[in-house]
């Protein structure tokens, strides 16, 4: 059964480790992540962007697939199914469809509007026992070929949102989605420490987990980060392994064209990436 992310993140914050959110795109992705979490006795959060939800034929299909897999694969570790960077409307749809966790990304709204919309969702989520992530200070990333540097959140605004009763808070600390550019100055630990001090026990979320050096990840966890989002790194691992399979001509040998064979190396590569991250984040064995 899917669970809210509240308990797993409260435990992570107290135990000074982080739970990984790995974004899913299809059946192979979901299966690879769930099997790895089970094998390593780690709690896990499956992230679904609105685009990926659409690609998988809607949030109801995603809920059906994930629930089916929990049963079919005999998954007993804690799994939360979470909307990633949701719009207000998207969050409502996911709550309705059976997600156990949602993110409302109101970081691009003026703070008063972010507060208002987040407040309404806090109430709805509380009624259903669903965890809610909010965001202050937008996360950078590539748009039209230009990589925008991540913003640094205002700690006072973080406190305003934290006080509404959200489950976890994503605060921009110079992090970026996708690959980090050569001239990236690194995470702003000064901002993270200031936000952490303002929000107390509230679990903090680090987006843009791909390509952040291990020492920065560990420092971020020590300063209150309890959830780390990873997406691009699984995509790159899948792409490299699939390319190698085809370049080696394996799709042309025997029944190498069978999708179950063709997609297998990429799926294994996702498992390897998820394992590495769970080890780095310290969540291995926390669900036994």
Query: Cα separation of 92 and 117, whole Å?
Result: 11
Question: For ligand 13P, which stretch binds (CB under 6 A), given 12-20, 56-64, 115-123, 228-236?
Answer: 228-236
Query: Cα separation of 43 and 34, whole Å?
Result: 9
Query: Cα separation of 132 and 101, whole Å?
Result: 6
Q: Per rule CB under 6 A, is residue 207 in the interface with ligand 13P?
A: yes
* Binding residue (CB under 6 A) for ligand 13P from 137, 172, 209, 224: 209
Query: Cα separation of 34 and 31, whole Å?
Result: 5
* Binding residue (CB under 6 A) for ligand 13P from 137, 178, 265, 282: 178
Query: Cα separation of 266 and 139, whole Å?
Result: 28
Question: For ligand 13P, which stretch binds (CB under 6 A), given 155-163, 231-239, 259-267, 274-282?
Answer: 231-239
Q: Per rule CB under 6 A, is residue 191 in the interface with ligand 13P?
A: no
Q: Per rule CB under 6 A, is residue 28 in the interface with ligand 13P?
A: no
| Residue 230 beta carbon to ligand 13P: minimum distance, rounded to whole angstroms | 5
Report the candidate in 196, 149, 191 with the shortest Cα–Cα distance to residue 169: 196
In the shown chain, the binding pattern of residues 64 to 93 toward ligand 13P, with x for contact by CB under 6 A and - for none, equals --------------------xx--------
Q: Per rule CB under 6 A, is residue 273 in the interface with ligand 13P?
A: no
- How far CA 82 is from CA of 21, 45, 148, in Å, comes to 8, 7, 25
Query: Cα separation of 191 and 14, whole Å?
Result: 21
Q: Per rule CB under 6 A, is residue 177 in the interface with ligand 13P?
A: yes
* Binding residue (CB under 6 A) for ligand 13P from 63, 121, 125, 230: 230
Q: Per rule CB under 6 A, is residue 196 in the interface with ligand 13P?
A: no
Q: From the candidates 84, 105, 163, 201, give the one annotated as an active-site residue.
A: 84
Q: Which is nearer to ligand 13P, 167 or 245 (CB)?
A: 167
Phi, then psi, of 122 in degrees rounded to 5: -55, -45
Q: Per rule CB under 6 A, is residue 227 in the interface with ligand 13P?
A: no
Q: Per rule CB under 6 A, is residue 105 in the interface with ligand 13P?
A: no
163 tagged catalytic:
no
Question: For ligand 13P, which stretch binds (CB under 6 A), given 9-17, 120-128, 155-163, 225-233?
Answer: 225-233
Q: Tokens 């509240």 appear where?
A: 6
Phi, then psi, of 74 in degrees rounded to 5: 65, 45
> How many residues of this chain bind ligand 13P (CB under 6 A)?
15
* Binding residue (CB under 6 A) for ligand 13P from 232, 272, 276, 284: 232
Q: Per rule CB under 6 A, is residue 233 in the interface with ligand 13P?
A: yes
Whether the CB-CB separation of 79 and 2 falls below 8 Å is answered with: yes
Which residues here bind ligand 13P, judged by CB under 6 A?
Answer: 23, 47, 84-85, 177-178, 207-210, 229-233
Please list the active-site residues: 84
């Amino acid at each position: 059964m899917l669970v809210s992310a509240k308990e797993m993140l409260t435990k992570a914050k107290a135990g000074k480790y982080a739970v990984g959110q790995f974004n899913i795109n299809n059946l192979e992705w979901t299966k690879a992540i769930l099997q790895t979490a089970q094998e390593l006795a780690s709690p896990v959060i499956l992230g679904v962007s609105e685009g990926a939800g659409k690609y998988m034929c809607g949030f109801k299909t995603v809920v059906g697939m994930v629930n089916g897999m929990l049963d079919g694969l005999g998954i007993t570790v804690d799994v939360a199914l979470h909307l990633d960077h949701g719009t207000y409307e998207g969050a409502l749809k996911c709550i309705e469809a059976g997600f156990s966790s949602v993110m409302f990304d109101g970081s691009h709204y003026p703070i008063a509007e972010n507060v208002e919309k987040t407040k309404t969702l806090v109430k709805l989520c509380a009624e259903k026992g669903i965890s809610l992530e909010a965001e202050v200070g937008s996360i950078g990333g590539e748009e039209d070929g230009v990589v925008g540097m991540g913003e640094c959140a205002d700690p006072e605004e973080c406190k305003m949102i934290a006080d509404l009763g959200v489950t976890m808070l994503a605060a921009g600390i110079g992090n970026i989605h996708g690959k980090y550019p050569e001239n990236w100055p690194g995470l702003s630990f000064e901002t993270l420490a200031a936000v952490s001090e303002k929000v107390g026990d509230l679990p903090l979320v680090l987006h843009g987990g791909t390509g952040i050096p291990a020492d920065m990840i560990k420092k971020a966890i020590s300063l209150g980060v309890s959830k780390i989002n990873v997406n691009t790194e699984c995509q790159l691992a899948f792409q490299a392994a699939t390319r190698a399979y085809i370049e080696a001509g394996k799709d042309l040998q025997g029944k190498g064209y069978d999708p179950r064979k063709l997609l297998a190396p990429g799926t294994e590569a996702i498992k390897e990436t998820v394992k590495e991250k769970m080890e780095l984040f310290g969540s291995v064995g926390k669900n036994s």
